[in-house]
Structure 1
Amino acid sequence: MESLARRAPPPPDRSSLVLHVDVDAFFAQCEELRNPALADVPVCVTQKHIVVTSNYHARALGVTKLHNLQDARRLLAGRSDAVFVSGEDTTPYRAVTKRLRSLLAKYGPTEPLGYDECWIDVTRRLKASSSSSDEGEHATKRARKEEPCWAEGTHVYTGDTFEHRVEGHSQHEQPPPPPPRPPETDEDILIARATHLASEVRAEVKRVLGLRCCCGIAHNKTISKIAASLHKPGQQTAVCASGASACIQRLGVMRRVCGVGASTEGGLVRHLGDSSVTTVRAAEPSKLARAVGDNARLAQRLWLLSYGVDKSTVDSKAIEAGPKTISVEDSFKPTELSQCERVLRVIAPDLLLRLAEHLEERGTWPTLFTVRWRSERLPDRKGVVASASASAPPSRWTRGNVNLPWPREADARAIASRSTDAATVLVNRAMRALREAAATTTTDGGTGRLTALNLGASNFQATNAAPTASFATMGQSTTAAEAYAHREGRRGFGGHVAHVMSKTQERAAIESSSHPSPPAKERTKQQQELDANLAADGWGDSDDDNERLGDCLL
């Protein structure tokens, strides 16, 4: 590791070539594929009282991600064709995600990020094609003169300039800028070739899956991800080595860099005064390390990232090995522990369905059951919210978890033979764990009222049991009226959840019936504020070590 004492700007990355593929408005596009009639109308995909994503027809009318649902309905009140789709059952989205990852893997090692993003390391592919077609300096000169420089429609960062390809049509009309200059270094020639591969990847995703996507092309993961977000929808951006530092600088603050979370940002603000890119670049090594918990390695990584240098590699092991953890979770208004069984009766069936999918694909079943929770923390008499520890920033939440052996009554064989109600087994075990934790935990400023619950499964082992229909139905049929009542009952979990019903069952029952949807209930201002707070804290279903939950636990 380079010494932190070195303050001269580090040399830019040049050795690798990375694509970052990002599907535009992924959930909305998935719904458009399921119902092509939605392609030309405003579409909002909702979870509880929040719009988690919207298509570009809705965004043009002011509805953005994490928009309050009630406000979104008002914005689209003049559009009788606007459609609001419940996206709380993520089963259709996960199915498309698996196909997307499989398709992208043929271009090189891939590393997923969420449902709709993926890095692809195309270094070996492009360098191999380069060495097979180029022979020495003469071939390099020939490539500069004769080969196409940049793929049509590519936006290019070189140095401190941001240049556009005129041929590529932008979503918003702009004065025609000059075309980017031809690449001048061997590394930039490879980047230029990578833009053609990126165009091929995007075209293949559209042809095979029907999805529009953006792509970032750069020498490392961080810059390629930033590049992918610069021109949406359906466009691509290349950042040459000489433009990486300026690309980071234009972000302003380090929080906007992938991997820099709220905890790190808080440390930078407390110890350095702010979390700007400029401040991190200029920080003394010892102060920067102190700002991130005296972690010299993390401080070095942050300093390098502030210049657009990222030494991490594309890790394809996650896809090859499968998820280490599968979890489901939900957030809700502050609720007494005694009432949390209503939440567990919803998320436990969802976890079993996820495990059934995993069993079919991987042939493994978990041996560890994890229950996580978040409870409300109230301010003291002076109105001050306490910190969980001396080094942590003030938080309105306190969190906990417990690991348990996976219940034998809910193993794959028991479910396949229909010898047990596995969902109820999980609910009862989780409730017992929560009561035991509440009885033994010392006071830490929490109120005892929970605001989120997570059930997780991990430590997967091979099994010969096969999934059956009982996984999906939990042994019961569901009517549309029951499904609507179930959905309304768990929105905030203020109502009664009468059935043990997965969100997959709920969606299927509603979509297969002509039963009219109940009118949306108006939310009070206080309820809307709570909706926004819970959504912003990032709770939702996840694989691979709880990416979203991990963020909010920092």
Structure 2
Amino acid sequence: IFFRMSTCIVHVDLDAFYTQVEEKRLGILGNEEPLAVQQWNGLIAVNYPARSRGVGRHDTIQEAKKKCPELQFVHVATYTSGDTHWQYHANPDRRTHKVSLEPYRIESDKIMQTFPTVTPKWERASIDEAYLDITEQVEAWLLTSPPPPAHLLQWGTEENIISSSTLSPEECQAFAGCPDALPYFMEDDATLQRYWVATQICSRLRADIHRRLGYRCSAGIAANKMVAKLASAKYKPNQQTAVTTAGVAGFLKEFSLHKVKGFGGKFGQVVIEKLGVSMVADLWQFRYEDLVPRLGPADARLVHDMCRGIDGSEVADNKHKVKSMLAAKSFAPIYKMAGIQTHLNILAAELVTRIKNHCGQHKMYPKTIGLTYRVSGSGSMTSRSLPMALQSHDIDPLAPEALATVASRFFPVEALPCTAVALEAKTFVPLPLAGKSSISHFLRPSAAGADSLPNPVPATTPDPVPNTASAGAPIPIPTPSATPTHAPSPVPTSGLYPKPHVPRTASIAHLWGKSPTPGPTPTPPPRPTPTTTSGPTP
């Protein structure tokens, strides 16, 4: 199971990200004042000065004030009726306001834009986390400017290196699953040099984020994503930790099973109950063959590999793959449609803002909009798609009032009283290139086969649609202009018997896997009968 560092993965984790965003907005970023981000009567983020005073993220406002009287509270941005953009309202009320996390998404996008300057292989893990594969960058560094010998490497004050494991011989054998495991726990100079280069690249990235945007982050460096994520949380805030392959066993030994990603929920509890363990090191006593009867082949492999720091997952290219956007609101039972309309107005304003921001930055737009609601007394949500499939040219004139109006028209009266409603943008696809917004481009003949289609159907360009959407009117859908009529091709005259002209019509049936139905075969005119003339033979 052992391997030397063939890949180099970095996990970047923004330190108390929401609080940093609010500190930057208020102009106090870096002042080390205790601050917490508030949502209604609870806390969703606490900065490190407040944490040092005992304030926790799940404390109520009253509990936090008792622990830290000087704690500053900042409520998240909200929407209310009449807003077309999120705002920081004074004393927002959960009955009339809707929480917006858009300020944090905007700042997150700015941070994520720094990662392509380091490597094209990076993956957004959450709003404040990302993975980077810097293997190629490490190799390029080693080719152009080799690092000093391993015994002369200088590690920075914010760089923590875990390159050895203080394990007993028995623990080494249990971890490796073989009696001759000790040599694998000694790191060679080449691997240490690769990790040193990786720490330099990571340190420069973190410094660049702070210089450009003012945000501090921690990072973990390892040979795979699982260990890198655990390493980034080892020393915080504003530090980085590298775990070499020889240090993985000793690093994992101190973790409880619940701290490992994927084992903090029900699955982790099942493993603890079935195997009678609580720490990662407790799992080393089990071979894969021992785990299969208790967990099954798939889960046995997962547990066996996890406790030994084995993770084959790659850094995925999911940077722009937004599957859906949801704006939702729960409330006390509402019995009248006017109350539902108020919430739909707020949700539409939030969703349209997010759609336009995402479309402008990533050139992706949703093809459909969904409406979801929950009837009072029901534990499940009911969803339906609105009959308003969006095209790329619908994005600019899309107005919150129009979206809210369409949603209210298709909200069933029998859903009252209602306790929750949501609008969702779904099926995000890339914006089409200019001139490719309709299927007509499939019908244009290529240069090589221009003669095969003498009368191609010309492409149609949608007429511009003014931004006239308003309350009470459906979202305008552009209609294509009429297709101009073309004169038929000249009738061919070659051959003994002229064939009647049959206009050729381009068919799009092949786009659905069907062949066009052939028309009736024209009947040629009767062949003239030769006449015999009497007289002498010439």
TM-score (norm 2): 0.63
Displacement of 1:300 in angstroms is 1.5
Q: Which residue of 2 aligns with 1:307?
A: 308
1:53 counterpart = 2:45:
yes
1:323 counterpart = 2:322:
yes
| Percent pairwise identity | 21
> 2:232 & 2:140 partners in 1: Cα distance?
25
Displacement of 1:450 in angstroms is 6.0
Displacement of 1:72 in angstroms is 1.9
- 1:129-181: CA deviations, max 9, x gaps? 213345xxxxx8x53255x342333122123359xxxxxxxxxxxxxxxxxxx
Contact 2:366 2:428 in 1 (8 A): yes
1:155 counterpart = 2:145:
no
Displacement of 1:328 in angstroms is 3.3
Query: 5 Å matches for 1:179-218?
Result: 184-218=188-222
Contact 2:328 2:423 in 1 (8 A): yes
Amino acid at match of 1:22: D
Q: Which residue of 2 aligns with 1:358?
A: 358
Query: 5 Å matches for 1:244-263?
Result: 244-253=248-257, 255-260=258-263, 262-263=265-266
Q: Which residue of 2 aligns with 1:70?
A: 62
SS for the counterpart of 2:149 is: helix
> 2:124 & 2:226 partners in 1: Cα distance?
14
TM-score (norm 1): 0.61
Contact 2:254 2:281 in 1 (8 A): no
Q: Which residue of 2 aligns with 1:107?
A: 118
Displacement of 1:52 in angstroms is 0.8
- 1:339-368: CA deviations, max 9, x gaps? 994765543432222111122223443224
> 1:291 & 1:329 partners in 2: Cα distance?
41
> 1:333 & 1:405 partners in 2: Cα distance?
23
Match of 2:424 among 455, 458, 479: 455
SS for the counterpart of 2:250 is: helix
Amino acid at match of 2:402: D
Structure 2 vs 1, CA of residues 19 and 362 (structure 1 numbering), >3 Å: closer, same or farther? closer
- 1:301-339: CA deviations, max 9, x gaps? 332111111111111x211x4423223345x57758989
> 1:287 & 1:421 partners in 2: Cα distance?
61
Contact 1:20 1:215 in 2 (8 A): yes
> 1:452 & 1:183 partners in 2: Cα distance?
57
Q: Which residue of 1 aligns with 2:150?
A: 144
Would you tell me which structure has more helix in proportion to its own residues? Answer: 1
* More moved, 418-427 vs 36-45: 418-427
Q: Which residue of 1 aligns with 2:18?
A: 27
SS for the counterpart of 1:230 is: coil
Query: 5 Å matches for 1:375-454?
Result: 402=383, 404=385, 407-408=388-389, 413=394, 416=397, 418=399, 421-426=402-407, 429=410, 431-432=411-412, 435=415
Q: Which residue of 2 aligns with 1:166?
A: none
Amino acid at match of 2:37: V
Contact 1:376 1:450 in 2 (8 A): yes
- 1:479-531: CA deviations, max 9, x gaps? xxxxxxxxxxxxxxxxxxxxxxxxxxxxxxxxxxxxxxxxxxxxxxxxxxxxx
> 1:403 & 1:286 partners in 2: Cα distance?
48
Displacement of 1:241 in angstroms is 0.7
Amino acid at match of 2:142: S
Displacement of 1:234 in angstroms is 0.9
Q: Which residue of 2 aligns with 1:493?
A: none
Q: Which residue of 2 aligns with 1:241?
A: 245
Query: 5 Å matches for 1:263-342?
Result: 263-269=266-272, 271-273=274-276, 276-278=279-281, 280-283=283-286, 285=288, 288=291, 294=296, 296-315=297-316, 317-319=317-319, 321-330=320-329, 332=330, 341=340
1:91 counterpart = 2:102:
yes
Contact 1:410 1:425 in 2 (8 A): no
SS for the counterpart of 1:231 is: coil
- 1:274-296: CA deviations, max 9, x gaps? 5642454445647755776x5x3
Contact 1:409 1:420 in 2 (8 A): no
Displacement of 1:221 in angstroms is 1.0
Contact 1:367 1:406 in 2 (8 A): no
Structure 2 vs 1, CA of residues 39 and 193 (structure 1 numbering), >3 Å: closer, same or farther? closer
* More moved, 398-407 vs 111-120: 398-407
Structure 2 vs 1, CA of residues 203 and 161 (structure 1 numbering), >3 Å: closer, same or farther? farther
The gaps in structure 1 that reach 5 residues or longer are 1-9, 135-139, 163-181, 378-396, 439-447, 477-554
Structure 2 vs 1, CA of residues 56 and 303 (structure 1 numbering), >3 Å: closer, same or farther? same
Query: 5 Å matches for 1:33-44?
Result: 33-37=24-28, 39-40=30-31, 41-44=33-36
Contact 1:111 1:118 in 2 (8 A): yes
> 1:222 & 1:52 partners in 2: Cα distance?
25
> 2:391 & 2:405 partners in 1: Cα distance?
9
Larger radius of gyration: 2
Q: Which residue of 2 aligns with 1:511?
A: none
Report how many residues are paired: 398
Q: Which residue of 1 aligns with 2:444?
A: none
Contact 1:216 1:237 in 2 (8 A): yes
Structure 2 vs 1, CA of residues 349 and 156 (structure 1 numbering), >3 Å: closer, same or farther? same
Displacement of 1:470 in angstroms is 8.6
Amino acid at match of 2:325: I
Contact 1:367 1:405 in 2 (8 A): no
Displacement of 1:455 in angstroms is 3.4
Displacement of 1:371 in angstroms is 5.6
SS for the counterpart of 1:421 is: helix
Structure 2 vs 1, CA of residues 418 and 189 (structure 1 numbering), >3 Å: closer, same or farther? closer
- 1:381-407: CA deviations, max 9, x gaps? xxxxxxxxxxxxxxxx96556463663
SS for the counterpart of 1:460 is: strand
Relative CO higher for 1 or 2, CA cutoff 8 Å, sep ≥ 6?
1
Structure 2 vs 1, CA of residues 408 and 120 (structure 1 numbering), >3 Å: closer, same or farther? closer
Contact 2:370 2:384 in 1 (8 A): yes
SS for the counterpart of 2:237 is: coil
Q: Which residue of 1 aligns with 2:72?
A: 82
